[in-house]
């Protein structure tokens, strides 16, 4: 009788609890939406098929309406030596029962060149039929840059120390750029004997506007630039890979010497990326790149710094090293040239008076500072045993000596 009484109490308590939960509006949790995991599996299979160059497996994930466009991009990637290709699902927005919009990070590495991956955000539209998801559209997310293969068929030229990827360019031009990049790499390594990849990837789009698409900005804003280097400053071995992007218009009008200087300059940015940070002023990063580019060319200061020479001879000696604003494009082209030339001669002064090892040590010390404020001042004191005021006066005297 006692056991039966306890059972009745338990049953009554359970009924009371059920009634209270019902009154409180409580209910069992909704089952988890299986779509994100299914979509993640779809994207993983899709990526593996592309990496394996398995067109049939790649097409399985495609909606028939999207398949021609997607297969075209698949074919454009044929000459790109990929080491990895992967999606990281960020967000799934369901639109009804059978549609979804997905945001994902696409990361890829080029075999033999990239230690870190290039990552770009994509938006994919998906549809579900008979329990399976299919890709109906795949495009860059708002604000994300285009990738070269989205602009046309990619042709690859492998150099000894370079990989040149071009769209809409004659193969002979790509071969010439690869030869120039191959010469740039050892020149940079000689001037910057630090631990870096010792190889470079160069992208050559078809037009100036296409260059802008790769950089996420209007093409005309790069009209006066022969090439640009992308990358993440202060990055370690897993930092996003650098790319040198050539402006086919501005680069094309340069002679062999000018093109070689440009590629050596840009390759220097690749080599020094890990030592460059937000603390590094532009005059130092651009000045060092120009110092490396001109280092073994035999060019005099008057030849390499014509705009600054004209200013010095006209009695317009700069009062201070150029600030970051002086390097902005879209303004006075002569003033921009003077800023680059002034940064180059500041680095040349350090290399000549203190020595090349001290120039490299100075560059590393500035970049290692936790913030911009005080970075140059501390490195001047610690590495060169001077002050900003003394260094500025030394630089101004150096300009007069070299350009006057």
- 245 plus 171 within the same structural domain: yes
Count the domains in the chain: 3
Q: What is the pLDDT of residue 32?
A: 60
CB 266 within 8 A of CB 229: yes
Q: Is residue 303 part of a domain?
A: yes
pLDDT tens digit sequence for 243-270: 999 999 999 999 999 999 999 999 999 9
Residue 28 has pLDDT above 80, yes or no: no
- 154 plus 255 within the same structural domain: yes
pLDDT tens digit sequence for 302-335: 999 999 999 999 999 999 999 999 998 777 889 9
- End residue of a domain, out of 247, 271, 295: 271
Reported as a pLDDT band with limits 50, 70 and 90, residue 224 is: confident
Buried b (16+ CB within 10 A) or exposed e, 356-386: bebbbbbbbbbbebeeeeebbeebbeebbeb
State which residues form the domain around 255: 150-271
CA neighbours within 13 Å on the CB side: how many for 150?
13
Q: Is residue 17 part of a domain?
A: no
Q: How far apart are CA 384 and CA 394, in angstroms?
A: 12
- End residue of a domain, out of 226, 243, 271: 271
- End residue of a domain, out of 224, 255, 271: 271
Q: How far apart are CA 280 and CA 274, in angstroms?
A: 12
Q: Is residue 292 part of a domain?
A: yes
CB 403 within 8 A of CB 305: yes
Burial of residue 71 (CB within 10 Å: 0-12, 13-18, 19+) is middle
Q: How far apart are CA 172 and CA 155, in angstroms?
A: 11
3-class SS at 38? helix
- Mean pLDDT over 167-183 rounds to 97
């Amino acid at each position: 009788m006692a056991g039966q009484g306890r059972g009745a109490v338990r049953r009554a308590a359970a009924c009371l609890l059920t009634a209270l939960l019902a009154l409180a509006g409580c209910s069992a949790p909704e089952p988890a939406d299986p779509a994100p995991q299914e979509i993640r599996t779809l994207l993983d299979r899709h990526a593996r098929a592309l990496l394996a160059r398995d067109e049939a497996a790649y097409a399985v994930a495609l909606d028939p309406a999207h398949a021609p466009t997607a297969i075209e991009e698949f074919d454009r990637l044929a000459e790109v030596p990929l080491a990895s290709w992967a999606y990281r699902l960020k967000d799934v927005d369901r639109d009804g029962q059978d549609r979804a919009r997905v945001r994902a990070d696409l990361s890829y590495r080029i075999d033999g060149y990239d230690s870190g991956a290039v990552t770009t955000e994509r938006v994919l539209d998906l549809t579900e039929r008979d329990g399976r998801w299919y890709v109906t559209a795949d495009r860059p997310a708002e604000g994300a840059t285009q990738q070269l293969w989205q602009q046309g068929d990619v042709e690859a030229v492998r150099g000894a120390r370079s990989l040149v990827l071009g769209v809409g360019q004659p193969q002979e031009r790509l071969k010439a750029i690869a030869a120039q990049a191959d010469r740039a790499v050892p020149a940079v390594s000689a001037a910057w004997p630090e631990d870096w990849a010792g190889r470079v990837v160069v992208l050559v789009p078809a037009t100036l506007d296409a260059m802008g698409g790769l950089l996420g900005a209007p093409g005309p804003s790069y009209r006066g630039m022969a090439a640009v280097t992308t990358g993440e400053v202060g990055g370690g071995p897993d930092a996003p890979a650098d790319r040198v992007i050539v402006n086919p218009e501005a680069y094309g009008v340069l002679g062999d010497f000018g093109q070689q200087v440009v590629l050596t300059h840009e390759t220097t940015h690749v080599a020094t990326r890990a030592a460059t940070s937000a603390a590094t002023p532009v005059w130092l990063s651009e000045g060092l790149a120009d110092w490396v580019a001109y280092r073994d060319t035999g060019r005099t200061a008057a030849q390499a710094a014509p705009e600054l020479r004209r200013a010095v001879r006209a009695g317009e000696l700069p009062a201070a090293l150029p600030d970051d604003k002086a390097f902005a494009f879209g303004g006075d082209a002569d003033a921009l040239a003077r800023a680059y030339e002034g940064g180059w001669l500041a680095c040349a002064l350090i290399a000549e008076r203190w020595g090349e090892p001290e120039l490299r040590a100075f560059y590393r010390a500035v970049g290692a500072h936790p913030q911009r404020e005080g970075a140059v001042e501390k490195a001047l004191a610690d590495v060169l045993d001077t002050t900003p005021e003394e260094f500025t006066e030394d630089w101004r005297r150096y300009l007069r000596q070299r350009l006057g």
